[in-house]
Homo-oligomer: A and B are copies of this chain.
Amino acid sequence: MGQCQTNVLRKTKGIFSNETQAALQTINCQDYAIHIGSIEQSLANFLQGRDYSSVAVVVDENTRRHCLPLILDVLDSKHLTIVEVPAGESFKNIETCTLIWKKLLMAGFDRNSLVVNLGGGVIGDMGGFCASSYMRGIDFLQIPTTLLAQVDASVGGKLGVDLEMVKNIVGVFNNPKAVLVDPKFLKTLNSREVLSGYAEIVKHALIADSVMWNKSILLGLDPHKIDSDQLRRSIQVKRNIVEQDPFEKGLRKILNFGHTVGHAVETVSWNTDNPLFHGEAIFVGMICETYLAYAKNLISKDLCDAVCRALKGIFYRKDSVSRTEEIFQIMLKDKKNRRQEIRAALINGIGSAKYDVILTREEVSESFQYYKKL
């Protein structure tokens, strides 16, 4: 994963011309801000006037090499600790959290310290949970470096780790002090990583932005050419939903479209030779759940077929739903369930969705058949 070229970095030290300042765009979300633009500028702005006793940057081997150099100059090296964790979802667990907590403890971190999470969703979710539970909560800053993390994990305060193959089962809701999004982190992401983030952009369009679906995605938007305006538009969809329902009591559940099947498909794929990226699994999930929307009479068969053909054109892997029983067993343990009934969020039109739809085992099986024959 060769992300975050260092040669695009202009070295700067906390002082910026008005011209550069103007380039930062800000989305306010609940009690924090998402700044889109130059990371050197947004990070220097953030630290200015804040008097942290120490700063930890949580990285994995990839972001240590490719992303950390972009921010090191802005940080005060005297009170800096780099916490490197192994890369990948399989290390997003309570054991890795324990390593992070111990490292903070050994480095003498107190309640006036800051944790900076520099990486994709794994680093953000896990580092955010560790900061939120270290000494019952210290400040943290999210610097998402993948497209997925920038348009998804950047908003909403959902933090956590996996347990017993169940995703995000241990965690909390807590907001960072700020989120800093810089498109230059995306410059050298590989195709699978870009596609993985693109799944959330497509999802945001399907559940809440019909204009984006009809004018951009259906027309074959190249996910490698997503610009900062499209990034901002997608982040705003999520922000609008999260602000109305921060604790996922209702409306926010529509963000789970594609994820009831998708999460389970992803989890099962971890035990194969060819594990899926999160967003790839969500493309699988969105096709199955679009079929389920039809099966539940929420959309017509024609619309179902049209949406699924478009989704298939972006990502398709026939064998991803073949382990039916395993996928179903994991779906039974989904956090969105109640009384062990499987509940999903399904679209009921382009740009509109409904949550808490109860699915039967038979309907889910049918959707896998539909997927395989598509």
Contact = CB atoms under 8 A, between A and B. Distances in A.
Interface stretch (A167-175, A226-234, A360-368): A167-175
Given A133-B133, A134-B169, A338 B102 contact: no
A49 interface: no
Given A101-B169, A169-B105, A338 B110 contact: yes
A112 interface: yes
A159 to B, nearest CB: 8
Interface in A128-171: 129, 132-137, 158-160, 163-164, 166, 168-171
A108 B333 contact: yes
Nearest to A54: B339
A5 interface: no
Interface string A102-120: 1001001011100000000
B98 A94 contact: yes
A337 interface: yes
A63 to B, nearest CB: 24
By secondary structure, the A interface counts as mixed
A152 B222 CA distance: 59
Nearest to A165: B105
Given A108-B333, A110-B338, A101 B170 contact: yes
Contact of A112 (B101, B136, B338): B338
Contact of A137 (B102, B112, B163, B172): B172
Contacts of A163: 98, 101-102, 105
Interface size class of A (residues with CB under 8 A): 35 or more
A338 B109 CA distance: 9
A12 interface: no
A318 to B, nearest CB: 31
A214 interface: no
A102 B333 CA distance: 12
A169 B104 CA distance: 10
A137 B339 contact: no
A34 B305 CA distance: 56
A335 interface: yes
A110 B169 CA distance: 10
A20 interface: no
Given A102-B163, A105-B166, A333-B105, A136 B171 contact: yes
Contacts of A105: 163-164, 166, 169, 333
B170 A110 contact: no
A105 B162 CA distance: 12
Nearest to A111: B335
29 contacts: A53-B339, A94-B97, A94-B98, A101-B163, A101-B169, A108-B332, A108-B333, A108-B340, A110-B338, A110-B339, A110-B340, A111-B335, A111-B338, A129-B133, A132-B172, A133-B133, A133-B160, A133-B170, A133-B172, A134-B169, A134-B170, A135-B169, A136-B158, A136-B160, A136-B168, A136-B171, A136-B172, A136-B173, A136-B335
Q: Which 5 A/B pairs are nearest by Cβ-Cβ distance?
A: A135-B335, A53-B339, A136-B171, A112-B338, A133-B170
